[in-house]
Amino acid sequence: AAAMSVNADLRRERAAATFQPERLTHILDGGPERTRRRKEIEALVLNDPDFQHEDLNFLSRSQRYEQAIRKSSLMVVKLREYGIADPEEIYWFKSFVHRGRPEPLDLHLGMFLPTLLTQATPEQQDRFFMPAWNLEIIGTYAQTEMGHGTHLRGLETTATYDPSTQEFILNSPTVTSIKWWPGGLGKTSNHAIVLAQLYTQGQCKGLHAFIVPIRQLGTHEPLPGITVGDIGPKFGYDEMDNGYLKMDNFRIPRENMLMKYAQVEPDGTYVKPVSDKLTYGTMVFIRSLIVGDSARSLSRACTIAIRYSAVRHQSELKPGEPEPQILDYQTQQYKLFPLLATAYAFHFVGAYIKDTYHRISGDISTGDLSELPELHALTAGLKAFTSWTANAGIEECRMACGGHGYSRCSGIPDIYVTFTPSCTYEGENTVMMLQTARFLMKSYSQVTSGQQVTGMVSYLNDLSRQRIQPQHVAARTVTMRINDPTSLVEAYKSRAARLVESAAKNLQSELNHRKSKEDAWNRTSVDLVRASEAHCHYVIVKLFTAKLAEVSDAAVHAVLTDLCLLYALFGISRNAGDFLQAGILTSAQITQVNQRVKELLAVIRPNAVALVDSFDFHDVHLGSVLGRYDGNVYENMFEWAKKSPLNKTQVHESFHKHLKPMQAKL
Amino acid sequence: NVNPDLASERQTASFSVEKLTALLDGGTEQTRIRRAVVEAIESDPVFSRENQYFQTQNERYEAAVRKAVHLQKKMHEMGWTENGPEYKYIYRALSGDVAFLLHRVFMRSISVLGSDKQIAKWIPLGTQHKLIGSYAQTELGHGTYLQGLETTAVFDTATQEFILNTPKISAMKWWPGDLGRSATHTVVFAQLYIHGKCYGIHPFIVQIRSLQDHSLCPGITAGDIGPKMNFEHIDNGYLLLKNVRIPRENMLSKFCEVRPDGTYVRQGSQQINYFTMTTVRISLISDEVLTPLMKACTIAIRYSVVRRQSKLKPGEQEAKILDYQTQQEKLLPQLASAYAFHFTNDYLQELFNRGYREIQRKNFDMLPELHALSSGFKAVITQHCTAGVEICLRACGGHGYSLLSGLPSLYTKILASCIYEGENTILLLQTARFLIKCFMAASAGQPVPPSVTYLAAVKHGKCPAKNKLDFLSPDIYTEAYQHVAVRLISSTAAKLQDLIQSGVKKHDAWNQCTVQLVQAAKAHCHYIAVKNFAETVEKLETKAGIQKIMKHLCDLFALHGIFSNTGAFLHDGYTSAAQMDMVTASYLDLLAVIRKDAVPLVDAFDFTDKSLNSALGSYDGQVYQRLYEWAQKSPTNQMSPAYERYLKPLLHNTLSKL
């Protein structure tokens, strides 16, 4: 009976698919067993009456926070009841409970506990870990300040050691030094790991982490010397009490500094940490999560927009015929299918980084950190590239849904506002791109000084080889095979090489003209960002292409190849200038690429709905009336609207308060 | 007490800010009137927006109704009238945060579409607010494509009434503003049926709520469509009609009338009506599109000289983030666009005024061109400015994400403009249709309207620039833009013809070329915008540094367009690879030049702090203090029930369960 109720258009779309969506779902999940387990966990949450509630769109911010806290508390209990401990499985459980939204315990679970594990001494773990594990202590991670974000060295909070009492005195000396943004800080946490400039024996020793109690256990009132609160309404993150924290001569015992690596001895002697490379690991891991999140958020938006476009009929394509599905318009396909291809590309990139991270972090414990700098540099750029692209892509999906996309019932506004801060947090994107650029410039200068570089930048080695020959790299038109992804990878490689080289030369010429390195760097930074983007773009096309070889199901392989080609060719079409200017492709080839992009839109069209079905988002998780699996959009929009807060009474109170008196007067 | 980092920016302005403000306003007298209106509105606490970021949908709606009611009183008090010079500044001064905006559309549609008798009956009722009107066109299933609307109005000769129905769920009226809770009447667009024959879409005045107790009339189901990205203060509504009968006289009948016996009579020319719809697209550009972009630029640029981050030179103070080239590259092109489109808007307004005079003289020759320009520019400007506001938002990093920055609400509001009054892709295709037609006519040697005469004089040359300074010559870049527009239009026209000649049906051929057609329409509008900016600059007074700074902005606008779309300019070799390097060099040089005047350039927009409603963008630059104080007023900082209900048990009792 359920199948009967599916909208006829969607039924037709699904019947026409050339492949089995489950097969593709298995690939995205990492195997049929992972899919089965994911759905099992999903069912645990969805069938649990404790996790049901009113549509969040109709709740005020306070109510949303309250719902989130309620669910988070239950979540922690139930995770342990069910014995779910694998990080990925916890992630699934959490995202089903909170429907892809942040929650007030995120920082406790994701930062406070892990930081204790990695940076606390055994004694500190004894004192803090079990209470935190049992949620007597709820903690957050207070790094960002009102005046400082990505540039950590600029943080102003101070922790001054007082050997007479063996305490640290914490202070927020200026308005700009007030901790600002940490999630869960405003109302939820009673402890925070605070990053502060350590002063001991009259010297500043740089940033260190301190465990700071902020609220009284029992009453939850702020402790004397602590000013704490919520930073107010935001674009999204309504469930999260992002907070502020101001400390005035707040004293904590010496033992509250996280001292696994650096230490302050009772007399105030500072002991330096052995290596700070380890912190790279955490950053790589978190940025890899953002790449995965870019893929998922864009996938959700694509699912909604493509299903809706198959259900919505509008205008006419052929005179006299019924109104066509809007997905049949070339302009609509051109908006959505490249994004669909992008979502797949990012999924594979996210999986690659995660795998590489796990492989390398094996090496970290055994001491081989040689690959870490490259991975660190690469993930910075990929984090920025994927989050920027997904951010814009989600908005394009929303726009492609016309007016209804603007309604909260479409679900896309929520996806957007939840996702967009990832362009800023964990490293502002432009700064990230420049980090990748720094690595690229270093690799380039290694190559020019005769060294070989390895890994994803090894294409730079070719530059020196070409330099021996009279021909400049920029004058090398490739014979591009338009239907062969590996040939397109070569084109992207040439583009990256050319833009890296060009940025390096511009940087050098600025250096020749100016005194300061930083000034030259700044004056080249637009070029440097372009070079990083080109490098990341190449890596993504390369990884997507490599993924094709692993796909054994012929039908799935065929459709993924179409998507990979579309991703690569659309990118060339959009960045045609780079390929033309470098002489990698001719105008005639670009025209051919543009044409092929449009042909591919038509090729992908019959599989579009099946391709978003493969992402396998449950309706509850999707949170969209437009993107419902059954396609019964209009009926459900009406049902949804009836629940709107403005509809609580038949005649709104404003009538009695304002309208009636006015009409009486006039 | 201005933040010294902001104060120092103002000391080095290369031009007179006050003179530039006057230029933007259209004269010093206009500036004076605008400031007086703003002052009167902002000094009245009823119009305050300080708490709006903390309010729920219900509270926002109530405040908007309160303001709308109060505005009537205020206008009376101040002696402002709908025809007075102050009127156009009221909406801007309120930042649109007021109810009954659709009431104006209701009134205008009666004035334009109603007979003299209907005007005499309804307009006074509306003016005195004896009724509140709305305008119900869009349906759940249909938007821009009006012929597809499904609401029906069947004429019943026996009772001399129309029977209105929304026969299926997708026919339900959906989105009209003021309809959900406020309106007592609305103009409903419905398919007219007489004796079983459909006569197409017509407008009908329908009463939906009682004038006594505001309850819904029989046969009417109406309500609010629920939360949206913005416009929480507006009760966008739905409307179901079930056998709702209205008298024959309620069909707006200036152009079409149904006689008592059911005879359908068409009268007069509808072209003036058509023209009115076209003007709406242009009229929204200033208040709904340019103002938000200008505000966003003001906030982001002021914040970027207050915010210091990282060091440019070792040992020095942390640098203002506006000193980073990448930050300039985000913000300054948006600033240039705001100015460019301000002048485009002036150009369009003037063209439309001329068009209006011609139409009154029964000369409809300008209509196709006006329609094409209004469609194309509505799409291009809304898209460009929406993207610009989003860039400003993200350029403010984490703090931009706070509602207290003012940027999220500017963004969510402006982006609606990409959809209402015609979906942008559809509008661009309408412009493209005009362009293809004109191109064919021009190729055949026939006359074409002034804005497209360039299509007749196709030149096959190469860009003559020899060094980077040449790209600061408006002739050089305007010609490059023209070349690209001509190439895209002519190649798409050729492609269409090829397809049709190879046997593809016309409509299929059209659909297969739509991606290119959209690009061609954009290129045309971009060319006109650049050309108009360059021409405007030439006419500006050379005194007080105005012309010089506007020339820089014009250059930046043009070169940014080339820099971000190099493929279009390199294609077919009009611009060489070496020339493109010159463009980039000139473009990046300009950023550093305009950087110096960035703050004075946003000061010239002359927004008050109250109108910006932003912790980051205030005139005095006391960003952090303001952010901190404002956040403390958030309702979330009152004691939340969540602690007692959930947190406390969590912190104390859950242990046993773990």
User: pLDDT at position B641, please?
Assistant: 73
Cα angle, residue A160 at apex, residues A159 and A165 outer, rounded to 5°: 120
Q: Looking at A565, A596, A613, which one is the last position of a domain?
A: A613
Q: What are phi and psi of B609, to 5 degrees?
A: -60, -40
3-class secondary structure, A173: coil
Task: Assign residue A597 the CATH number of its domain.
Answer: 1.20.140.10
SS (H, E, C) B212-234: CCCCECCCEEEEECCCECCCCCC
Q: Which helix (H) or strand (E) covers residue B238, if one does?
A: strand B237-241
- β partners of residue B152: B165, B191
Q: What are phi and psi of B28, to 5 degrees?
A: -65, -30
CB nearest to B640's CB, from A80, A187, A587: A187
CB nearest to B401's CB, from A57, A409, A421: A421
The per-residue DSSP string of B1-67 comes to ---HHHHHHHHT-SS-HHHHHHHHHTSHHHHHHHHHHHHHHHTSGGG--TTGGG--HHHHHHHHHHH
Q: Give the lowest-confidence range in A393-407, A647-661, B5-19.
A: A647-661
The yes-or-no verdict on residue A207 having pLDDT over 70 is yes
Residues A299, A242, single domain; the answer is no
Centre a 10 Å sphere on the Cβ of residue A91 and count the other Cβ atoms it contains: 14
Q: Looking at A584, A613, A642, which one is the last position of a domain?
A: A613
Tokens representing residue B39 in the block: 């002052």
User: pLDDT at position A208, please?
Assistant: 95
User: pLDDT at position A3, please?
Assistant: 45
**DSSP H helices in B540-639:** 546-563, 566-570, 577-595, 598-603, 609-612, 623-632
Q: Which residue has the tokens 């000193």?
A: B323
User: Is residue A560 assigned to a domain?
Assistant: yes
Question: Which chain A residues contact residue B490 at CB under 8 A?
Answer: none
Mutation target to probe the A interface, by most A beta carbons within 10 A, among B128, B132, B214, B235 is B214
Q: What is the mean pLDDT of residues A46-61?
A: 92
Residues A430, A509, single domain; the answer is yes
Residues A253, A360, single domain; the answer is no
- Letter for the amino acid at B54? F
The per-residue DSSP string of A341-375 comes to HHHHHHHHHHHHHHHHHHHHHHHHHHT--TTHHHH
Which of B13, B5, B20, B77 has its CA nearest to residue B339? B20
Q: What are phi and psi of A466, to 5 degrees?
A: -70, -30
Residues A310, A417, single domain; the answer is yes
CB nearest to A576's CB, from B394, B511, B571: B571
The per-residue DSSP string of A481-503 comes to -TT-HHHHHHHHHHHHHHHHHHH
Q: How far is A76 from chain B (nearest CA, A)?
A: 9
3-class secondary structure, A167: strand
Start-to-end Cα distance in chain B: 56
- Cα separation, A576 vs B569, whole angstroms: 10
A409 CB within 8 Å of a chain B CB? yes
Global pTM reads 0.95
Range list of β-strands (E), B138-229: 152-156, 161-165, 173-174, 185-194, 197-207, 220-224
Query: Do residues B310 and B292 lie in contact, with contact meaning Cβ atoms separated by under 8 Å?
Result: no
Question: Given the DSSP bridges, would you call strands B185-194 and B133-136 parallel, antiparallel or unpaired?
Answer: parallel
B336 CB within 8 Å of a chain A CB? no
Which of A632, A654, A634 has its CA nearest to residue A645? A654
Residues A189, A218, single domain; the answer is yes
Query: Do residues A426 and A292 lie in contact, with contact meaning Cβ atoms separated by under 8 Å?
Result: no
User: pLDDT at position A665, please?
Assistant: 66
User: pLDDT at position A276, please?
Assistant: 58
A575 CB within 8 Å of a chain B CB? yes
Tokens representing residue A544 in the block: 């997507």
User: Is residue A233 assigned to a domain?
Assistant: yes
> Which DSSP category does B443 fall into?
H
User: pLDDT at position A23, please?
Assistant: 98
Query: Do residues A601 and A334 lie in contact, with contact meaning Cβ atoms separated by under 8 Å?
Result: yes
Query: Do residues A480 and A488 lie in contact, with contact meaning Cβ atoms separated by under 8 Å?
Result: yes
Complete domains list, chain B, with CATH: 103-267 (2.40.110.10)
Q: What is the mean pLDDT of residues A453-461?
A: 92
- Cα separation, A110 vs A425, whole angstroms: 14
Q: What are phi and psi of A318, to 5 degrees?
A: -115, 130
**DSSP H helices in A51-86:** 61-82
> Which DSSP category does A110 fall into?
I
- Cα separation, A161 vs B552, whole angstroms: 54
B123 CB within 8 Å of a chain A CB? no
Residues A260, A294, single domain; the answer is no
Measuring CA to CA, how many Å separate A503 from each of A44, A374, A508, A521, B132? 53, 19, 8, 10, 62
Q: What percent of chain A shows pLDDT beyond 90? A: 78
Q: Which residue has the tokens 């066509």?
A: A324
A471 CB within 8 Å of a chain B CB? no
Q: What is the largest CA-CA distance in chain B?
A: 91
Determine whether B421 is an active site residue.
yes
The yes-or-no verdict on residue A469 having pLDDT over 70 is no
* Per-residue pLDDT reduced to its tens digit, A604-640: 999 999 999 999 999 999 999 999 999 999 999 999 9
Q: Looking at A229, A253, A273, which one is the last position of a domain?
A: A273
- Cα separation, B255 vs B200, whole angstroms: 13
* Per-residue pLDDT reduced to its tens digit, A538-549: 999 999 999 999
**DSSP H helices in B319-406:** 325-360, 367-395, 397-400
User: Is residue A121 assigned to a domain?
Assistant: no
Which of B373, B134, B418, B142 has its CA nearest to residue A395? B418
User: Is residue A27 assigned to a domain?
Assistant: yes
Tokens representing residue B48 in the block: 């305050």
User: Is residue A657 assigned to a domain?
Assistant: no
Which residues, given as ranges, of chain B have pLDDT below 70? 639-640, 653-658
- Cα separation, A478 vs A465, whole angstroms: 17
User: Is residue A305 assigned to a domain?
Assistant: yes
Q: What are phi and psi of A456, to 5 degrees?
A: -65, -20
A82 CB within 8 Å of a chain B CB? no
Measuring CA to CA, how many Å separate B43 from each of B68, B249, B255, B547? 16, 45, 45, 35
> Which DSSP category does B634 fall into?
S
Query: Do residues A651 and A27 lie in contact, with contact meaning Cβ atoms separated by under 8 Å?
Result: no
Tokens representing residue B160 in the block: 């001399």
Burial of residue A464, with CB atoms counted within 10 A of its CB: 0-12 exposed, 13-18 middle, 19 or more buried: middle
- Cα separation, A86 vs A343, whole angstroms: 25
- Letter for the amino acid at B198? C
- β partners of residue A474: none
Residues A224, A302, single domain; the answer is no
The yes-or-no verdict on residue A471 having pLDDT over 70 is no
Flag if B571 and A66 touch (Cβ within 8 Å). Answer: no
- Letter for the amino acid at A77? V
Q: How far is A67 from chain B (nearest CA, A)?
A: 8
Residues A151, A231, single domain; the answer is yes
Tally the domains of chain A.
3
Flag if A187 and B216 touch (Cβ within 8 Å). Answer: no
**Strands of the A243-247 sheet, one edge to the other:** A179-180, A243-247, A226-230
The yes-or-no verdict on residue A414 having pLDDT over 90 is yes
Query: Do residues A609 and A302 lie in contact, with contact meaning Cβ atoms separated by under 8 Å?
Result: no
- Letter for the amino acid at A109? L
Residues A502, A393, single domain; the answer is yes
* Per-residue pLDDT reduced to its tens digit, A215-268: 998 889 999 999 999 999 999 999 999 999 999 999 999 999 999 989 999 999
If one compares A474 and B608, the residue with the highest pLDDT of the two is B608
List, as ranges, residues 288-317 from B with C-beta within 8 Å of A: 307-314
Question: Which chain A residues contact residue B57 at CB under 8 A?
Answer: 644-646
CB nearest to B570's CB, from A151, A423, A580: A580
CB contacts < 8 A, A to B, total 376
Percent helix, strand, coil in chain A, to 5, is 60, 10, 30
Domain that holds residue A231: 137-273
- Cα separation, A540 vs A538, whole angstroms: 5
User: Which residues contact residue B473 at a Cβ distance below 8 angstroms, ignoring those fewer than 6 apart?
Assistant: B465
Q: How far is A282 from chain B (nearest CA, A)?
A: 21
Annotated binding site of B for FAD: 138, 177
Residues A382, A508, single domain; the answer is yes
Tokens representing residue A183 in the block: 């999630």
The yes-or-no verdict on residue A580 having pLDDT over 60 is yes
User: Is residue A132 assigned to a domain?
Assistant: no
Binned at pLDDT 50, 70 and 90, residue A1 comes out as very low
Residues A234, A325, single domain; the answer is no
Query: Do residues A302 and A289 lie in contact, with contact meaning Cβ atoms separated by under 8 Å?
Result: no
User: Is residue A376 assigned to a domain?
Assistant: yes
Residues A444, A395, single domain; the answer is yes
